[in-house]
Each structure stands twice: as C-alpha cells, then as structure tokens.
Amino acid sequence: MNINTTYTKIITDEDLMETVQHGSNLYPFQFYYENLSVFDFNCVEWHWHTELEFIYIESGTVTLWIGEDQFNLTEGNGIFINTKVIHRLYSPSKALIPNFVFMPSFIAPCDSLIYQKYILPIISYPLPFLIFHKEVYWQAKVLSIMRQIISAQDSVSSKELLTSSLLQNLWLEIFENTDISYQEEHKEHPTASQARLQLMMQFIHLNYSQSISLDDIAKQAMVSKSTALNLFRKYLHITPVNYLINYRLKQAGQLLSKTEKKVSLISSETGFHNVDYFCRLFKKRYKLTPTEYRKQKHFL
C-alpha cells in the first residue's frame, strides 16, 4: 500500500467545515494513507465534516484535539470521530495514520429501519469520539476490522463490496458496545458554544494581519471577554490571543516556504509590526529562525 507523499490539504470554509467531498455520491467513502510529517508543521489543522471518520495509528504518536478534549494515541490504537465534530491532529515526528471517512448513509439508506434504529442514535447524541485500545477485547475487535478495511483497499476487483460488508461489522461492534441510554440521559447541546467559537476563529482567520484585541474577538460572537476566554480554553486549550499569535506564525511559515518576500515584509503582512519580536516568537515556536526555516523548506 502506497503512503501519500504529499499531504491531503485540508480546505475549509469560514466556519472550519471541510469543503472537499470525500468519495462520490455513488460511493461516499474515501480512504487515505497518510504520514503526518508531510503536513505543514506536522499538523492537520482544526476542521470538521459531515462524514464519519476512523483513524488507525500504524506507527508513531499522535496528539488529538477533539472539541474540548486533548489526548495522545500510540501505535496500534485507533479512534472514531463522529459527524460534525471539530478536531485537530499533530505528531512531533513521523506518524503513519491510515484513515477512512464516509457518509453515515453508506452503511444504510437514511430512510431505512437500519439507519433509524442503529445509526441515528449514535450520530444524534453527544458522542464526539470513541477511542479504541488494543488491550480492551471488543475494541481490539474493532481495530482488527479497521485493519481489514485498510487492507481491502488493495483489492482491485471487489474492494467496494468488501469495504461495505466490513463497515457493517464495524458499526455492529460499536453499536453493541455503546451505552446509548447513558448518552441520552446526559445529553448536552454544545452546538451553540461551538458556533460562537467558530465565529471568533473565523474573525481571526480573516483579520489576523490587522491589530486585533481580545475585545474585538469577543464582539464577533456577542459574548464577554471572559466567555471568549472560557470557550477557547474549553475547546482549543489555548487563549484567544495565543491562538491569534499561533495562526499568524503559521501564515508566516507558509509565506517563508512559498515566497521570496523579505522577512520584514512577512512580519508586517502577518500582523507583527516589530520584526525583532516576530523573529523571537517564530524561533520560540519552531526552533528555527525565519531564515533557517526558509532554507530548510527550500532544501526539502
């Protein structure tokens, strides 16, 4: 199986929803065999999609941020990420993560009994993700089926039918081992909070080159500064101002690797109006000066 040597660029709209269709209307399933080290800064940035996603950690260690949770997954473990759940992935070094995404309707049509009885209860309740550890019996079975689905992608003649069959088995294991009644009793609705957070993130993404204050960010979601702080800390584990700085540094890194603009100009264009301050922050985050970073990217 061939590993992707160029990363699948995550393209999102202003609400961080991924805009790329995975698979097709005829076959709404897509498999990716990726290495996080080829992504910018070893990171798949914040995004969400309507598809369900399963990720298997073939090698390395991956840090995931999903909604308000952050954790590490190591080799041999995996995860299910529910529909419309915002998430981010990072690895400090090489990490192979075969993964597949598909529409819930790929398991069964939306107007079918199977969908209504077995799929809708899981995707409708606040179950943002499920982690699968190889030490837990039923989760080891899930991981085994995930590996079979990954292997099935090399089957030229019957991979679509085989994939569909294996996904049925995969979902059966999850349904039989997920306590829906508990989820329903403790149901919360974080949608409004995430929508406010996304409004503030959208404002930062569109205006990072300008002078922005915490008050400016909070006003975009019509919340107080303390609420803005709490939302960023709860879901992204960072303050709004530090998120802004990190986003500026990321944009600066892209300009350094893709253009020949002077460092002073890049500093100004990404919202840093003092080039020495920009250089200090850049080196602190990426362990390289802007010039060293540019040389490394050009060499690669």
Residue 3's pLDDT band (cuts 50, 70, 90): low
pLDDT of residue 146: 98
Query: What distance in Å separates the CA atoms of residue 275 and residue 261, rounded to the nearest whole number?
Result: 14
Q: Pick the more confident residue, 180 or 40.
A: 40
pLDDT of residue 33: 95
Query: What distance in Å separates the CA atoms of residue 236 and residue 242, rounded to the nearest whole number?
Result: 11
Which percentage of the chain shows pLDDT scores above 90? 61
Q: Does 180 score more than 70 pLDDT? A: no
Candidate from 9-13, 85-89, 183-187, 212-216 with smallest mean pLDDT: 183-187
Query: From residue 105, how far is each of 83, 130, 169, 179 by CA, in Å?
Result: 12, 20, 15, 22
Q: Pick the more confident residue, 192 or 270.
A: 270
Helix axes 275-286 and 240-258, enclosed angle (nearest 10): 90
Coil vs helix vs strand at 217: helix
Mean of per-residue pLDDT scores for the chain: 88
pLDDT of residue 188: 46
Query: What distance in Å separates the CA atoms of residue 254 and residue 258, rounded to the nearest whole number?
Result: 6
Q: Does 126 score more than 80 pLDDT? A: no
Order of strands, edge to edge, in the sheet holding 96-102? 29-35, 96-102, 52-56, 78-81, 129-132
DSSP line for 93-139 = S--EEEEEEE-GGGTS-TTSHHIIIIIHHHHHSS--EEEE-TTSHHH
pLDDT of residue 4: 63
Residues forming a β-bridge with 84 = none
pLDDT of residue 164: 96
Mean pLDDT calculated for residue range 258-282: 94
Query: What distance in Å separates the CA atoms of residue 197 and residue 235, rounded to the nearest whole number?
Result: 8
How many residues would you count in the chain? 300
Residues forming a β-bridge with 131 = 79
Q: Does 186 score more than 60 pLDDT? A: no
pLDDT of residue 184: 45
pLDDT tens string 203-240: 999 899 999 999 999 998 888 999 999 899 888 888 99
Residues 6+ apart with CB under 8 A from 7: 34, 38, 39, 40
Residue 258 burial (CB count, 10 A):
10
Place of tokens 């019996």: 137
Residue 26's pLDDT band (cuts 50, 70, 90): very high
Q: Which two tokens stand for residue 106?
A: 């790929």
Query: What distance in Å separates the CA atoms of residue 164 and residue 176, rounded to the nearest whole number?
Result: 19
Which percentage of the chain shows pLDDT scores above 70? 91
pLDDT tens string 77-87: 999 999 988 88
Order of strands, edge to edge, in the sheet holding 69-74? 43-47, 87-90, 61-66, 69-74
Q: Does 269 score more than 60 pLDDT? A: yes
